[in-house]
């Protein structure tokens, strides 16, 4: 007969679940479902064309803001791509857009999503934008960053969580703008994820055939809705990096947006900024965002620019912007001349 010491049986404490009165955000969870019904999903709402325009021009603003307003206007619900080779000024351009939106549109909430970014860039965005948007206890801008010293799972997690949160706020009637830098790095992260790159079939450039499914869904979430708010996503996408995988990522996203802003390496090499190829850039259905006079002016200017090299295009327009302090004055002076020229 065993007379040794008996082991005491461990009693597991039953963890309190939702039915036992667990709390969520200070409320009983079993009351949350009944008192706070879930709102609609953004995907279930009626998607309409991006409008009205998110005007970027303000007194003494960078020239890029005025050029975008005319040649590549951004509406509420826009799904825009900034296509950029390395060192062409995309980060500065994103900052210009962020400052302008926060300055001009007090009803807009902004999220800046930086994926696989340099740590110092994340810090710079946080110090400038979050401080600028601080209004008492409420901040209108949140910078979410996963720097390049974080692992792939962190990049994937913040991408999904940030867009989902913004979708929820848009479905609740708010107007949200997301600036994403960059779609290329998001695509790389999902391609290195075991969970999201699991098809076993590899396309050119080493991209798994399933890796870009979720990133395309995230970018495709941008829309204006008839019943609620809007979600605007302006995302950068890298080209001419020497990587076949990066080129494939760009090709997958090309055409999924309704606005493209093209940055040109040759313009940037001449140290002319913003290095925008205006003739190649544009917004679908920009007639919904521009006045009739603006449309006339921009159409005539585009015709003239087609005969010039990209670097000469931007130099000519920068000179015109210096002569006329506002776009309104530029259009008022230019429109009558363009009408006569067309006749």
Query: For the chain, first and last CA: distance in Å?
Result: 114
What mean pLDDT is predicted for residues 19-41?
45
Q: Would you give the distance in Å from CA 15 to the centre of its chain?
A: 41
E-state strands within 90-182: 108-117, 134-135, 138-139, 141-147, 175-181
Phi and psi angles of residue 24, each rounded to the nearest 5 degrees, phi first? -130, 120
For the chain, domains (ranges, CATH) are: 42-288 (3.40.50.300)
pTM for the complete prediction?
0.84
Of 54, 56, 75, give the one whose Cα is nearest residue 285: 75
* Cα distances (angstroms) measured from residue 192 to each of 142, 151, 237, 289: 27, 10, 18, 39
CB 207 within 8 A of CB 248: yes
Gap between the Cα atoms of 22 and 25, Å rounded: 10
**pLDDT digits over 309-341, tens only?**
888 888 889 998 999 999 999 998 876 555 444
Q: What is the 3-state secondary structure (H, E, C) of 35-49?
A: HCCCCCCHHHCCEEC
**pLDDT digits over 92-136, tens only?**
999 999 999 999 999 999 999 999 999 999 999 998 887 665 554
Of 137, 64, 133, give the one whose Cα is nearest residue 104: 133
pLDDT for the residue 140: 87
Instruction: Map tokens 């857009």 to a residue.
Output: 97
């Amino acid at each position: 007969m065993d007379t040794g010491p008996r082991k005491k049986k461990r009693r597991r404490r039953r963890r309190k679940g939702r039915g036992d009165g667990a709390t969520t955000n200070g409320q009983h969870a079993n009351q949350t479902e009944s008192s706070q019904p879930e709102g609609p999903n953004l995907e279930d709402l009626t998607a309409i064309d991006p409008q009205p325009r998110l005007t970027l021009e303000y007194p003494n603003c960078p020239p890029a803001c005025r050029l975008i307003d005319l040649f590549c206007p951004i509406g509420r619900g826009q799904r825009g791509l900034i296509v950029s080779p390395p060192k062409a000024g995309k980060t500065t351009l994103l900052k210009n857009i962020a400052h302008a939106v926060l300055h001009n549109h007090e009803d807009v909430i902004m999220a800046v999503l930086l994926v696989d970014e340099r740590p110092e860039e994340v810090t710079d965005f946080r110090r400038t934008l979050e401080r600028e948007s601080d209004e008492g206890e409420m901040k209108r801008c949140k910078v979410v960053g996963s720097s390049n010293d974080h692992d792939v799972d962190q990049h994937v997690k913040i991408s999904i969580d940030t867009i989902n949160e913004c979708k929820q706020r848009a479905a609740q009637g708010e107007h949200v703008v997301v600036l994403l830098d960059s779609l290329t790095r998001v695509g790389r992260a999902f391609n290195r994820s075991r969970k999201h790159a699991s098809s076993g079939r590899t396309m050119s450039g080493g991209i798994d055939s399933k890796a870009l499914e979720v990133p395309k869904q995230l970018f495709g979430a941008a829309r204006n809705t008839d019943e609620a708010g809007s979600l605007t996503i302006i995302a950068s996408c890298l080209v001419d990096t020497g990587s076949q995988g990066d080129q494939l990522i760009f090709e997958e996203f090309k055409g999924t947006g309704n606005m493209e802003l093209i940055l040109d390496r040759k313009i940037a090499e001449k140290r002319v900024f913003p290095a925008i190829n205006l003739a190649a850039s544009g917004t679908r259905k920009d007639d919904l965002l521009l006045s009739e006079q603006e449309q006339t002016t921009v159409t005539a200017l585009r015709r003239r620019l087609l005969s010039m090299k990209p670097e000469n295009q931007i130099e000519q327009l920068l000179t015109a912007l210096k002569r006329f302090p506002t776009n309104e004055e530029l259009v008022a002076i230019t429109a009558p001349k363009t009408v006569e020229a067309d006749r």
